[in-house]
Amino acid sequence: MKINKIQHNMLAIAAAICLSSAVWADQSSIKMIEPGNFSIDADEIQGFRDKMQAAVDGNFVAGNIILVGNNDGIGVLESVGTQGPKQTTPMDAETIFRIYSMTKPIVSVATMSMVEDGLIAIEDPVSKYIPEFANMSIIDEQTGAVTAAKTVMTVQHLLTHESGLIYGIFDPESPLGKQYFQAGSLRSDITALELAQKLAALPLRFEPGSKWTYSRSTDVLGAVIEVAAGKSLDVILKERIFDPLGMDETTFFVDASKASRIANPIHGDMADPTEVTPMLSAGGGLHSTTEDYVRFANMLLNRGEYRGVRIIEESTLDRMTQKFIGDSVDRSSFFFGPRGDWGLGFHLQPVPGKDNAGPFNFGWQGVGGTVFIVDPVNDFFMLYMAQVRDAPRGAPMDLTQSQRVVYEAMLD
């Protein structure tokens, strides 16, 4: 019997799952090596710790973690503080974080693995999978006028945040932002598909492909790939990412038996990860540990493969890290202004000393205080993990400062 590409890939995934279950059950992703492999010395590591401790002492976070590694191992792993206010357990590589938008790159990689299998194409109209996205309209928020969209929204637009969708939570006072709230964009008692259908009933802010705006695009993408695969998003990610990589603690919801390991913010409240809801948010619903996310970052640094298991092809990752904003797209809402670009699910930022011609690092961050970057040119990945909500500004160490201090130490 001839085996087609989809069958072949699914057999490979099944084999990888068996391998990870058998070999990695007791094998950590963290193998320590000398920090000198990254040109980081003991004084510089102490400098990291001093800033991390200052963030704790300054009541910005209860604790934080910084990690630098590559395919040879982990050269820096420093943790300071506890898992949360009134908690005595030290924060460590097994602490569970709400990683929020660090969910997006995982979903984007899963989507591109489905592209490889022919289950979906980035050129496909979103309406192919969710018919409600046919015949969209555009709102002029100055006048309130609504006109028919001229451009069809595609899967690529979802991957690149050029869909015309927005994030109502980040834009609550705009006319469209208010419509998002009225439509229930923050509800957790509906599914991702139901959310997508509600958003499809609203106008877009701009013609798809004409502007970059951070948005609910990845949440809609999650609903799209559920339809394309005929499976729920948690199953898709488990089969295509988590089981092959051995990421057994990266989940949408946390079992109550692990509640004591959940990080919590000093200021404000965050949703309870043990509360199971119908919403599987592709844009920000996952929880993970530092030890688990290392596996994903390491796979990306190693060109789509981790410990002999290939998740995506090198050519696919190359495609994902191309510049998609370009010169023709309005980047007035781009977080980095004129600097850098956006790929298929990742930020692209020039490494220190370089310009928009590159080379770039890539990755993304979570609004709750987490970030990861992958730098193929300097051969490292970095994670910074904390849990932040409504904290005062000016922390001596955070998801931005962590990148700066690591680069300064490595490249001085």
Tell me whether residue 119 is in a domain.
no
Task: Check which CATH number belongs to the domain holding 199 and give it.
Answer: 1.20.58
Tell me whether residue 146 is in a domain.
yes
Domain final residue pick, 226, 254, 284: 226
Identity (one letter) of the amino acid at 146?
V
Pair (215, 231) in one structural domain: no
> 330 - beta bridge partners?
211
Angstrom distance (rounded) from CA 92 to CA 95 = 5
Tell me whether residue 99 is in a domain.
yes
Tell me whether residue 272 is in a domain.
yes
Pair (170, 311) in one structural domain: no
* Per-residue pLDDT band at 109 (split at 50, 70, 90): very high
206: which 2 tokens? 């701009």
CA 150 from chain center: how many Å? 30
Pair (236, 314) in one structural domain: yes
Pair (251, 389) in one structural domain: yes
Burial of 323 (0-12, 13-18, 19+ CB in 10 A): middle
Note the pLDDT tens digit of each residue in 35-86. Answer: 999 999 999 999 999 999 999 999 999 999 999 999 999 999 999 999 999 8
Angstrom distance (rounded) from CA 344 to CA 323 = 9
Pairing type for strands 96-98 and 287-289 reads antiparallel
Tell me, what's the pLDDT at 11? 44
Q: Give which of 168, 91, 167 is closest to 369, Cα–Cα.
A: 91
Tell me, what's the pLDDT at 17? 47
Burial of 275 (0-12, 13-18, 19+ CB in 10 A): exposed
Angstrom distance (rounded) from CA 31 to CA 62 = 26
The stretch 8-14 carries a mean pLDDT of 46
Angstrom distance (rounded) from CA 38 to CA 205 = 44
Pair (158, 250) in one structural domain: no
The stretch 222-229 carries a mean pLDDT of 98
pLDDT of 101 higher than 50 = yes
Pair (275, 399) in one structural domain: yes
**What is the 3-state secondary structure of the chain?**
CCCCHHHHHHHHHHHHHHHHHHHCCCCCCCCECCHHHHCCCHHHHHHHHHHHHHHHHCCCCCEEEEEEEECCEEEEEEEEEECCCCCCCECCCCCEEECHHHHHHHHHHHHHHHHHCCCCCCCCEHHHCCHHHCCCEEECCCCCCEEECCCCCEHHHHHHCCCCCCCHHHCCCCHHHHHHHHCCCCCCCCCHHHHHHHHHCCCECCCCCCECCCCCHHHHHHHHHHHHHCCCHHHHHHHHHHHHHCCCCCECCCCHHHHHHECCCCCCCCCCCCCCCCCCCCCCCCEEEHHHHHHHHHHHHCCCEECCEECCCHHHHHHHCCCCCCCCCECCCCCCCCCCEECCCCEEEEEEEEECCEEEEEEEEECCCEEEEEECCCCEEEEEEECCCCCCCCCCCCCCHHHHHHHHHHHC
Tell me whether residue 242 is in a domain.
yes
The stretch 334-344 carries a mean pLDDT of 96
pLDDT of 358 higher than 60 = yes
Domain final residue pick, 209, 226, 243: 226
Note the pLDDT tens digit of each residue in 112-149. Answer: 999 999 999 999 999 999 999 999 999 999 999 999 99
Domain final residue pick, 226, 254, 289: 226
16 Cβ partners below 8 Å, 6+ apart?
A: 243, 244, 309
Pair (78, 137) in one structural domain: no
* Per-residue pLDDT band at 327 (split at 50, 70, 90): confident
Tell me, what's the pLDDT at 26? 57
Q: What percent of the chain has pLDDT over 90?
A: 92
The number of domains in the chain is 2
Tell me whether residue 71 is in a domain.
yes
Number of other CB atoms surrounding residue 179 within 10 Å = 17
Tell me, what's the pLDDT at 326? 82
Tell me whether residue 389 is in a domain.
yes
Pair (184, 78) in one structural domain: no
Identity (one letter) of the amino acid at 54?
A
Task: Check which CATH number belongs to the domain holding 18 and give it.
Answer: 3.40.710.10
Number of other CB atoms surrounding residue 244 within 10 Å = 26
Pair (279, 396) in one structural domain: yes
Pair (316, 403) in one structural domain: yes
CA 94 from chain center: how many Å? 19
Average pLDDT, the chain: 94
**What is the 3-state secondary structure of 218-238?**
HHHHHHHHHHHHCCCHHHHHH
Pair (216, 243) in one structural domain: no
CB 112 within 8 A of CB 180: no
Pair (201, 276) in one structural domain: no
* Per-residue pLDDT band at 361 (split at 50, 70, 90): very high
185: which 2 tokens? 């964009």
* Per-residue pLDDT band at 365 (split at 50, 70, 90): very high
Tell me, what's the pLDDT at 3? 39
Note the pLDDT tens digit of each residue in 394-405. Answer: 999 999 999 999
The stretch 3-10 carries a mean pLDDT of 44
Tell me, what's the pLDDT at 412? 85
First and final C-alpha spacing in the chain: 59
pLDDT of 9 higher than 90 = no
254: which 2 tokens? 């946390």
Domain range spanning residue 198? 124-226
Tell me whether residue 15 is in a domain.
yes
Note the pLDDT tens digit of each residue in 266-297. Answer: 999 999 999 999 999 999 999 999 999 999 99
